[in-house]
Amino acid sequence: MITVSPTHALLILRQSDNIQDSDTRMRIERWAVGELDRNPSIGSAAVREMWEGALDAGVTNATAIWVVGQGHSSVAIGLAIEEILSLRPGMAVDPLRMIISEAMLRIPRPSLEHLTDAALRRNDLPSRVRALWSLLHFGLKGEAARSSLEGHSEADLKDLLEATWAQNPLDALPSESDAERASRAAAMVRALGPTSMPEATDLARRRAMRPKRGSDSVERAIRDLQQNADPLAGKLIAECLRTPTLSYWFPVLLHAKSAQSKLQADKTYTPPSGLIGTNESA
């Protein structure tokens, strides 16, 4: 078996996108990641040095350089992510959001929480960088961290949400229970709902080239509550319905409450015993 230095393995990994055959590309990527992981401390240093070199050279836009070995488990890459986020939490938003997206897939929850808490204790973070760390803090801790979103503009929060977690931030973040997901969804509704309004029609939501809006994140969060069978989801929807600043969302929330109640009832329903398969012949 051929072995190479971590630097050469990293170079091969970065160039693998040029391989057209998907099976061949996957085999080569697995091999290159394996070389990085042969000695994780040395492999992680190679990845971190690549990122630090790019930052020192002024590369702050969203490029493929910030994503390494995507789709492959790697101890070395996980270590490199922890190290770069610890050393340079104030890097530009584009590389930070791409590395954080990878961190959510590769780093254990306690490590993510530690990195986030350390970043938010700093006083020198640019406003949009702090907003991105605040969103991660909120995503990890839900309702308990809703205050993290205060002070940030809806435009910044919406833009960072859509750019970092294009489909659904709640799906990307690690969570242990339906109750935690419900807590985060409700906090999202309370944070962005008062300053946004639901679209008047489905057609308006679907029209071509429509810019993304804060209401998109609110609607998605309400849908998450509606599809969550945990009893806490129903309680949180009810609390939102008692919040005057969310009055524009009451029709959507009422529909969600009804659907969630049915879902919860279906999940907990147990047919009465003795009624199935009985034969009352004389």
Determine, yes or no, domain membership for 253.
yes
Per-residue pLDDT at 274? 59
Per-residue pLDDT at 211? 43
3-state secondary structure of 256: helix
Per-residue pLDDT tens for 240-269? 999 999 999 999 999 999 999 999 888 876
Determine, yes or no, domain membership for 184.
yes
**Residue range(s) defining the domain that contains residue 222:** 175-197+213-266
Q: What percent of the chain shows pLDDT beyond 90?
A: 44
- pLDDT of 147 over the 50 cut: yes
Determine, yes or no, domain membership for 234.
yes
Determine, yes or no, domain membership for 231.
yes
Angle among Cα 194, 195, 198 to the nearest 5 degrees reads 85
DSSP-derived letter for residue 211 is P
Q: What is the pTM of this model?
A: 0.72
Determine, yes or no, domain membership for 16.
no
Helix (H) or strand (E) holding 17: none
- As a whole number, the mean pLDDT across the chain is 83
Domain total in the chain: 1
Distance CA 111, CA 78 (A): 11
What is the 3-state composition of the chain as percent helix, strand, coil, each rounded to the nearest 5? 70, 0, 30
- Higher pLDDT: 214 or 154? It is 154
Determine, yes or no, domain membership for 248.
yes
Determine, yes or no, domain membership for 233.
yes
Per-residue pLDDT at 207? 45
Q: 282: pLDDT confidence band, cut at 50, 70 and 90?
A: very low
Per-residue pLDDT at 47? 95
Q: Round the CA-based radius of gyration of the chain to a whole number and report it.
A: 23
Distance CA 137, CA 120 (A): 9
Q: What are phi and psi of 162, to 5 degrees?
A: -70, -35
Range list of H helices, the chain: 6-15, 22-38, 40-56, 75-87, 93-106, 109-120, 127-141, 154-164, 169-172, 178-192, 202-206, 214-226, 231-241, 250-268
Determine, yes or no, domain membership for 69.
no
DSSP labels, 69-116: STTS--HHHHHHHHHHHHH-TTS-HHHHHHHHHHHHHHS-HHHHHHHH
